[in-house]
Amino acid sequence: MSFNTVVTKILHSMKEELEKEETIQSLREDIIKPVVEQIFLIMYPYFIGMGCVFIMIIVTIFIILFLNIKICYQK
Within the chain, what is the greatest distance between any pair of CA atoms?
90
* 1 has a pLDDT exceeding 80: no
33, HSE (Cβ side, Cα atoms, 13 Å) = 7
Per-residue pLDDT tens digits for 20-57: 999 999 999 999 999 999 999 999 999 999 999 999 99
Query: Residue 75 — pLDDT band, cuts 50, 70, 90?
Result: low
Q: How far is CA 31 from CA 12, 14, 70, in A?
A: 22, 17, 57
49-74 burial string, b = 16+ CB within 10 Å, else e? eeeeeeeeeeeeeeeeeeeeeeeeee
Query: Residue 60 — pLDDT band, cuts 50, 70, 90?
Result: very high
Asked whether the whole model's pTM tops 0.85, one would answer no
User: Where exactly are the structural domains of the chain?
Assistant: 3-74
* 73 has a pLDDT exceeding 90: no
